Chain A
Amino acid sequence: MELVCPAGTPSALRAAADAGADAIYCGFANETNARNFPGLNFSADELSEGVAHAHRKGAKVLVAINTFARAGDVGLWKHAVDDAAACGADAIIAADIAVLDHAAANHPGTRLHLSVQAAANTPEAIRFYAEAFGVKRVVLPRVLTVPEIAALNREIDVETEVFVFGGLCVMTEGRCALSSYATGKSPNLTGVCSPPDHVDYREDENGQLLARLGGYTIDRFESGQAAGYPTLCKGQFSARGQTGYLFEDPVSLNAFELLDDLAKAGVTALKIEGRQRGKAYIAGVVGAFRRALDSLESGGDAGPAIAALNAFSEGGRQTSGSYKKTWR
């Protein structure tokens, strides 16, 4: 299985390539990609250099142009596709029909991957994108169990890529407007979820730290406790007279124990999340996954590599998410 790793910066890209990534995904520094955060992402020149470095290391570069193009201004997204192709990208990851259509029509030599933002989780939807645009791979939304992924793979001819490590989106990607409802900025349109310029922290009368997004208090931390980032679906809320993590606990996805099952389910590529992470994190996680995958493939002991991954999880807590039917 191919190990697909994140890069938010040129140095993270080099770290991922050096640590043994088979492919690295990244995006341009504008709203054409779904991690449009300040200080992140690539210019066209940086992408060209990154592609050259990755190729020297035997890694591919996949460029995410996976937000939905703005009405009346589709040109910015088309230019991003043209730039990615000109920079030698091995594939473009897109969700919007407008972007896929432009890429398929103008860059038939560049592979197209369907972004998770397209939320295609049935054979019918995936075959539509394959037939209409020649999509070669689909990044599956995190709504399927491993047996469901296996059944899906038996019905489609395109490759599947699944998330195995990092942040856990609990809302179906590409179909969530919680962030824009609270802040006016949206993953689909602006490329951001729970944007930092709408975050603030304040202390309440009991000395607890309140984390707020768009003026809504969505998490609370004891004095001295490490304060997490207020991501909407990982916040604490009240419903039915109870207060807690209604949508999802602040946990990370770690599907490491399912790697063998995912391979048997016919999955082609494993995706690590974290384009906003620094190069030390990238190097650590990618390196651990590389060693673990190599150990698994050679029938060796993957235990030490698994242990090394635990150190990188949010709050030290992990879940295999929707891949297991027991997820609640």
Chain B
Amino acid sequence: MTAVSPPSRRASAFFFRKPKLRLGILLSAPLLWLGLAYLGALAALFITAFWSTDVFTGKVVTDWSFDNFVTLFTDSVYRTITLRTVGIALLVTVIDAVIAFPMAFAMAKLASPKAQRILVIAVMTPLWASYLVKAYAWRTLLSGNGAISWLLSPFGLSGPGYGVAATVITLSYLWLPYMILPIYAGLERLPDSLVDASGDLGARSFRTFRSVILPLAFPAIVAGSIFTFSLSLGDYIAVKIVGGTSQMLGNVVYDNIGAANNLPFAATVAIVPVVIMLVYLAVVRRTGALNNL
């Protein structure tokens, strides 16, 4: 081969011999974007949390202090809201796990391959039907003359109305597909032979569930819980739509950016879910859940 190769070919050969350079080029743009735009913004948020707002001009004052954190931890209003938010997020996660597991199990282990695909699409479709539309649907369902009261009235019961219970119901509804899909994916990967073996060794259904299926499906459940928990922690819109007068952390952040014009305090409050989520991610990392996302 003596012919001179075209430039594109020479370029190809050059990059082929330099895998590190190829990797560097591939990583550069995503890392610049996420590293600068996202991590940079998160770092800036953390710094802003130590600043304050001038009472008269409304401008951010760049004097360092722990005042915002002191307010957050000592004011009983914020303590109550933090505990309520974490409580709601935990409750929503547990409710979703309990509802999603049998559904995912039936999808992964009982349905035929063709039915499986249809069922997955059926779970994903409402996932993309606008968040607001679904929250709004619950507002009409839960209203005084809505479908829930209509369903319950023959039993002499009334609906929960707007409040914490309505918030939990709405959030559980909104995030349910985020729990079903990872559990389904996890169970689908779980070999039937293990379940059969457990049965052959004399285990009854419950024992097989507890000793074989649950431990193997656990990372998938945790993967789902990352979404249900995180999305609930930061929500403020569902609360505004069906929550009545109760508030969550997200509302405090939102009100401090908008009406109160106190960005530093909003930043301080926003750090709470970040810290909770980072601790949560660090803990669940060992279960291998992050590979199930």
Q: Are A and B genuine complex partners?
A: no
Q: Which residues of B are interface residues toward A (Cβ below 8 A)?
A: none
